[in-house]
Structures are given as C-alpha cells and as structure tokens.
C-alpha cells in the first residue's frame, strides 16, 4: 500500500507531462493543409473506374532544390541527400514507385526561403519549380514544421532536421503529394480526448468507425487504414500501436496503427503504405500527373559496398605551411555527386572532429583555406541519381605544417588546463590556466564541433603560469576545443559544456 500511494501521483505526473509534450509537437510535424482533394474524393467514390497498372515499376523524377542562406551557408549536404534518397526508395519499394534525381541538383541562396512561412514558401516554389517533376525543397525551417506539401504551388518543403537517416518524413510528404490524407484526417488541429464521447462528425467530417461503415467517406476515405484520431506526434508500443486507447462514435475501442507513414506515429513505428493508399498514389500518377512518367529512366546502380579509391594526396603526406591542397579520387561510374567528409585530428588527445562536409560533382576538390598545424582526415562517398545507399571510402590523412610544442619541450611541462569540466551553463566562465615557456602575446580560440570559432580572446602572458577566463554565455551544450596560440607553439584542450 505504501508503495502504491507513492507511485500513483508520480504516474499521473508522468502521464500529464508526456501528453503535454506530445501536444506541443503537434504543430511541428506536418503542415500540409488538411482534407481530401477533389480528385481523391472522386477516385474513392469509384476506384474501380480507374484502371491502374499495378506491379509495373515506375521511376518518378525529382527536382532537388537545396536552399541555403543569402551567404550560401546551411545547405543540406550531398551525404545527407544520398541517405535521405536511400530511405525514401526503401520506403516506397513495396509500392513499385521509385524516385530519381532529375537534372542537376539546384542550389538556391535565399535566407527568406531558408526559413520561410507559407507565403514565402509558395513564392519559392512558384519561381523555381521544374514542370513534370516532383519538386522537393530542403530548407532550415519550412513554416515551423518538419515538412509540408503545398497543393497550391505543387511542391514539397522539407526541414533538413527531419530528413535524417531514421526519418520517414519525406515518404509522408510525398504520400500527400500523391493525394493521400493523414490516417487521422479530420482531426488535424483537434486533440482527441479519451474522456469525452466521440462525436459523429469532427470539423464537418464524418468520424471513421471500427465496423467499417462509411469507411470510404470518413477519415482518410480508405477502408484498409483503420480509425485513428491522434493528430499529435506519438510513440508506439512494441506492436506499433498507440498507448492512447480511443473510442469510436459507437463506443468500440481501438488503438491507432503506427505502421502507416501517413499517421503521426514516430519514425520508429512507421514502415508502410496500405494497399488502397498505394493504389490511390499509382492512380494519381497515372490519371492526374501523367507528365511524371513520360521519361523512361534506367538507373545506374552503384554497389552499396563500393569503396571509392582515394588517389591524392598520399596517405600521411606532410605539406609545409600551405593552405592549398587538392584532393583527388577515382571517378565512380553512375555517380552524379560525391560527399566528402573532412575532419581534423586533434593533437595530444587523440580525437577527431568533423571540420567540414563538402559536395562535388567531379572527382576532385581543391581546398584553399586550410589551417596550419593540423592533421586532416578525409573520405569520399559517391551517390547516383537513384542510388543513395552507398558507403564512405576508407579514410586517408595528411598534415599541414608541423606541430611545434611537443617536439621542443617535454610533454607535460607546458600547456593548458581548463576547469571546471564539464562546465555547466550556470557555472560562470571557463577558467583557464596556461603554463608557457616565455611571455608575449597569446590568442585563445574556442572552436565548436563544426569547426567554427565561437570565442576569441587575446592576452599578454609571462613565463610560467598564466590565469585567465573566457565567457561561456549563450553557448550550446556539447564539445568544444580551446586552442591557445603564441610564439612558442599551439596547445589544444577539449572542453565539454553540459546543459
């Protein structure tokens, strides 16, 4: 009894908390306007009137628009695009629909489109869409959501952050593009409450029932997607069902099926379109979007395990004080682009951090802004029009400049100490103690894990111990490098900022 008394309030607190969190997420997942299109209503009244060619593999052209800021920053990378295309084609494989990148990948420098509202997104699509392709825009913030399909502008906007290797948002939005509503259609913007009686109609739409009556004119209009009233992002149990039990207007109880891409279940639950959803998408392509299938496309496949051969510079090459190095690798048949992962090795602590990611269309890359006194590590991943499921090559490293300090002095005599570690947000500035062989001007730089300098400070030093501090205000939690450079050399220390 004692255990129960203590346990119940805690349990209620947890339930209250998760419902609130899920509610907040509701307007952040998909911003596609709700409802069934006129085309879908007419299709669902008599699907048998649409002679759909099933079983025929259709290749659908995509135009990929990568949107960055006015300064040309923040683009979705080639590696991220390849991984997203790989997942998309896996998700659509059972539907016999496969997607390929048509034409060149388009880059748009426009901060207004990079973080846009609906009006700006409409304008972006109106001025950039390529006819007879599925136009997809990867941006930082598409109208506050993970993504949306705009029926007016006929394009899909995707958030880079919701297009990761475990995400099915792209499949969800392309489902909308090909006419599919949400499985909980009608409930958008309305939170289902298990404690209230479920009405016959919600937002002027008939509420879908468990017994299948009105199934082609309620909810999403598909009879093989059972009722679902959950219009916020939810996580599923081990059977891919919702924790929330719902009641239909006739008081039959059920839990939502999270396997549908068109539900709001979390990514780990989703894995399919239903047969009726698949037939509707294929009919939509054949009858409403015939221009998408006019080009015959034969994919060039790149083996998933192909290791691209890196040609230059030689592994372990050491360059003098240069900032200019050209990377070269073997051209891969069928590749339309290469993703280059470029890291540097941090002296003294054995870590590598991702410095930059590049995307090229050719098999070489000239870097003209390399910093000295660093060892760089790079690897290459090719991707094709259709084929994003490729792997990175084995890495190679090269050095620029020479490391000064550990060769001229005994390790440990001189260097940097940073405390407290890890530093919490409320703990004040970073305290730094630098033990140096001689005095002079020294520069401190704090570098984030993306290689960006987030703090710089200069100070006068003397031989021996020098104490100083550096503000950590407004820095995101994570891992940073503190670098001290003076005439005697360069020291680096890892800094961890906790929440």
Binding site for Zn ion (CB under 5 A): 30, 32
Smallest separation (angstroms) from Zn ion to the CB of 202: 17
Asked if residues 43 and 51 have their Cβ atoms less than 8 Å apart, the reply is no
Report the residue number, 35 or 437, with the smaller CB distance to Zn ion: 35
Report the residue number, 32 or 246, with the smaller CB distance to Zn ion: 32
Report the residue number, 30 or 400, with the smaller CB distance to Zn ion: 30
Give the helix/strand (H/E) hosting 469: strand 464-470
Smallest separation (angstroms) from Zn ion to the CB of 31: 8
Q: How far apart are CA 265 and CA 258, in angstroms?
A: 5
Give the DSSP letter string of 270-329: --B--HHHHHHHHHIIIII-GGGGSS---PPP--TT--PPEEESPTTEEE-S-S-EEEEE
Report the residue number, 32 or 242, with the smaller CB distance to Zn ion: 32
Closest Cα partner for 156 from 175, 137, 142, 143?
137
The CB-nearest residue to Zn ion is 30
Smallest separation (angstroms) from Zn ion to the CB of 264: 8
Report the residue number, 59 or 234, with the smaller CB distance to Zn ion: 234
Asked if residues 388 and 77 have their Cβ atoms less than 8 Å apart, the reply is no
Smallest separation (angstroms) from Zn ion to the CB of 236: 17
Smallest separation (angstroms) from Zn ion to the CB of 176: 5
Smallest separation (angstroms) from Zn ion to the CB of 328: 44
Phi, psi of 106 (to 5 degrees): -100, 135
Report the residue number, 30 or 134, with the smaller CB distance to Zn ion: 30
Asked if residues 81 and 99 have their Cβ atoms less than 8 Å apart, the reply is no
Tell how strand 97-101 and strand 58-68 pair up: parallel
Q: How far apart are CA 264 and CA 259, in angstroms?
A: 10
Report the residue number, 32 or 393, with the smaller CB distance to Zn ion: 32
Smallest separation (angstroms) from Zn ion to the CB of 181: 8
Q: How far apart are CA 184 and CA 207, in angstroms?
A: 9
Smallest separation (angstroms) from Zn ion to the CB of 108: 24
HSE-CB at 55 with a 13 A cutoff on CA atoms is: 1
CB atoms within 10 A of CB 475: 17
Smallest separation (angstroms) from Zn ion to the CB of 142: 12
Smallest separation (angstroms) from Zn ion to the CB of 158: 12
CB atoms within 10 A of CB 201: 11
Calculate ∠ Cα 445-447-452, nearest 5°.
115
Smallest separation (angstroms) from Zn ion to the CB of 187: 12
Residue 143's alpha-carbon distances to 4, 33, 112, 117, in angstroms, are 45, 12, 11, 4
Torsion over CA of 210, 212, 218 and 224, rounded to 10 degrees? 100
Residue 206's alpha-carbon distances to 23, 45, 199, 462, in angstroms, are 23, 15, 9, 79
Report the residue number, 76 or 184, with the smaller CB distance to Zn ion: 184
Q: Is 437 exposed, middle or buried (0-12, 13-18, 19+ CB in 10 A)?
A: middle
Phi, psi of 60 (to 5 degrees): -105, 125
């Amino acid at each position: 009894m004692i255990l129960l008394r203590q346990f119940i309030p805690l349990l209620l607190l947890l339930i209250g908390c998760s419902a609130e969190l899920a509610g907040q997420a509701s307007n952040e997942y998909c911003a596609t306007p709700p409802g069934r299109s006129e085309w879908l209503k007419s299709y669902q009244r008599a699907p048998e009137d649409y002679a759909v060619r099933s079983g025929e593999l259709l290749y659908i052209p995509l135009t990929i628009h990568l949107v960055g800021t006015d300064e040309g920053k923040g683009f979705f990378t080639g590696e991220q695009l390849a991984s997203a295309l790989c997942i998309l084609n896996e998700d659509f494989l059972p539907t016999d629909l496969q997607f390929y990148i048509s034409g060149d990948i388009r880059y748009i420098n426009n901060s207004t489109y990079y973080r846009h509202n609906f009006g700006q997104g409409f304008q972006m699509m109106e001025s950039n869409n390529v006819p007879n392709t599925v136009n997809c825009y990867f941006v930082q913030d598409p109208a506050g959501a993970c993504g949306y399909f705009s029926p007016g502008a006929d394009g899909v906007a995707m958030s880079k952050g919701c297009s990761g290797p475990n995400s099915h948002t792209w499949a969800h939005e392309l489902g909308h593009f090909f006419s599919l509503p949400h499985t909980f259609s009608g409930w958008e913007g309305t939170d289902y409450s298990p404690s209230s009686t479920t009405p016959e109609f919600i937002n002027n739409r008939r509420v879908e029932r468990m017994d299948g009556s009105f199934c082609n004119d309620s909810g999403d209009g598909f009879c093989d997607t059972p009722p679902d009233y959950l219009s916020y992002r939810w996580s599923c149990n081990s059977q891919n069902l919702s924790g929330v039990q719902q009641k239909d207007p006739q008081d039959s109880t059920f839990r939502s099926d999270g396997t549908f891409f068109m539900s709001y279940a979390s990514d780990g639950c989703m894995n399919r379109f239903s047969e009726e959803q698949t037939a509707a998408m294929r009919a939509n392509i054949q009858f409403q979007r015939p221009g998408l299938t006019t080009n015959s496309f034969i994919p060039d496949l790149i083996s998933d395990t192909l290791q691209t051969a890196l040609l230059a510079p030689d592994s372990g090459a050491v360059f003098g004080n240069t900032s200019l190095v050209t990377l070269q690798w073997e051209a891969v048949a069928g590749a339309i682009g290469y993703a280059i992962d470029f890291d540097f090795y941090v002296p003294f602590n054995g870590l590598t951090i991702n410095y930059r990611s590049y995307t090229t269309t050719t098999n070489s890359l000239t870097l003209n802004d390399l910093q000295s006194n660093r060892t760089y590590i790079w690897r290459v991943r090719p991707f094709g029009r259709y084929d994003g499921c490729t792997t990175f090559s084995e890495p190679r490293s090269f050095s620029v400049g020479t490391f000064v300090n550990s060769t001229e002095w005994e390790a440990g005599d001189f260097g940097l100490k940073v405390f407290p570690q890890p530093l919490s947000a409320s703990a004040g500035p970073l305290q730094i103690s630098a033990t140096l062989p001689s005095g002079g001007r020294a520069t401190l730089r704090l570098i984030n894990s993306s290689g960006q300098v987030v703090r710089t400070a200069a100070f006068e030093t003397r031989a021996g111990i020098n104490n100083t501090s550096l503000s950590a205000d407004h820095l995101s939690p994570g891992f940073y490098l503190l670098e001290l450079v003076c005439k005697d050399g360069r020291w680096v220390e890892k800094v961890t900022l906790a929440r």
